[in-house]
Amino acid sequence: VYGQYKRWDDRNPRRALVADYTFGVSVLPGPVSVRVGYAAFAGVVANVAVPDAHVSASGVLGDDFKYPTYLRLGADWVPSAAGYTSAYLRRMGWRIPPRYDVSTGDPIEDQPNRIGFLTAHAEQRDIVEFFDVALGAAIAPAGAVHEARASFHTYDFHLADPRVRKKQSGRSSGKSGEGPRLLVTGGVAGMPNRPYYGEEAAIVPSFRADLGIQVGRGEGKRMTADLTLRYAEPETLALFPMAHYPWETGFVITGEL
């Protein structure tokens, strides 16, 4: 159960408490992984992957099975001498707000319900263990720079479990392999013109800082606290194209018995 901002159902936006659910199946026929499921607020979700080759394709069929609201095809975290490489194409179906006749209040059906946001991405992670680079370009509905950022992080930032971090690298950032994980990202983010949201094309500075503290006792209990602060995060802009380059913050605590 979660809170949703219902912007499309009422001309007087309101907050509502709604329920969502998901279910699905996974099939592993040899080297291929197939997953199919259904989410009440998304639609049919499918993923086909070849884990050993690091390639996958994903999609979501929403709007009562009438529109592909999400498509992704590419390679993820392919090991190389320079770290881990990802390259993929992604298409997201942005919902266009309805328009109404000011005199009658009737909806004006002169535009599609959705428009596709197609982007191309290339990412290099763990360059000499400490650096990441991410590049992204918008292809449709118009060409634009979507992301050009570089990150510095602790060598084990992308390994969440401190026991795995210590085992894989042979290092220890603290007692029993626990210690702070830090990432700082800087660069630019951009979006194409979005007149249906009242937003113009722009390229703005983009910033992100993450701090994770993990405490454990050998192979037993552990606790994790993660804090993040972000401005103009490209992933947020892609998911919420009506957002005007927002600040974000988050704090998560998890524990293991």
Q: In the 8-state DSSP scheme, what is residue 167?
A: H
| Position 234 pLDDT exceeds 80 | yes
State the pLDDT confidence band at 107, using cuts at 50, 70 and 90.
confident
| Position 155 pLDDT exceeds 90 | no
* For residues 59-79, average pLDDT: 91
* For residues 98-121, average pLDDT: 80
Please report the pLDDT score of residue 10 as a whole number: 45
Q: In whole angstroms, give the CA distance from residue 204 to residue 245.
A: 8
The set of residues, in sequence order, having a beta carbon less than 8 Å from that of 216 and lying 6+ positions away, is 162, 163, 176, 177, 178, 222, 223, 256
DSSP3 helix / strand / coil % (the chain, rounded to 5): 10, 60, 30
Please report the pLDDT score of residue 122 as a whole number: 97
Percentage above 70 pLDDT, the chain: 79
Count of other CB atoms within 10 angstroms of residue 136: 22
Q: What is the total residue count of the chain?
A: 257
| Position 171 pLDDT exceeds 60 | no
Is 21 or 230 the better-scoring residue by pLDDT?
A: 230
Angle at 235 between CA 229 and CA 64, to 5 degrees: 130
Please report the pLDDT score of residue 150 as a whole number: 98
* For residues 52-76, average pLDDT: 92
Report how far apart the first and last C-alpha atoms of the chain are (Å, whole number).
Answer: 25
State the pLDDT confidence band at 87, using cuts at 50, 70 and 90.
very high
The count of C-alpha atoms lying within 13 angstroms of the C-alpha of 231, restricted to the half-sphere facing its C-beta, is 9
Is 256 or 94 the better-scoring residue by pLDDT?
A: 94
The set of residues, in sequence order, having a beta carbon less than 8 Å from that of 236 and lying 6+ positions away, is 230, 243, 246, 248
Is 174 or 234 the better-scoring residue by pLDDT?
A: 234
Dihedral Cα 124, 128, 132, 134, nearest 10 deg:
-30
The set of residues, in sequence order, having a beta carbon less than 8 Å from that of 205 and lying 6+ positions away, is 186, 187, 188, 189, 231, 232
Element housing 100 (H / E): strand 99-100
| pLDDT tens digit sequence for 120-132 | 999 999 999 899 9
State the pLDDT confidence band at 5, using cuts at 50, 70 and 90.
very low
Is 147 or 13 the better-scoring residue by pLDDT?
A: 147
| Position 4 pLDDT exceeds 60 | no
Q: Which long-range contacts (CB under 8 A, 24 or more apart) does 164-171 make?
A: 169/129
Please report the pLDDT score of residue 63 as a whole number: 82
Is 53 or 42 the better-scoring residue by pLDDT?
A: 53
Q: In whole angstroms, give the CA distance from residue 212 to residue 174.
A: 13
Q: In whole angstroms, give the CA distance from residue 246 to residue 185.
A: 16
Q: In whole angstroms, give the CA distance from residue 106 to residue 93.
A: 25
* For residues 79-107, average pLDDT: 86
| Position 197 pLDDT exceeds 80 | yes
Q: In whole angstroms, give the CA distance from residue 10 to residue 173.
A: 52
Largest CA distance in the chain: 71
Is 152 or 157 the better-scoring residue by pLDDT?
A: 152
| Position 85 pLDDT exceeds 90 | yes
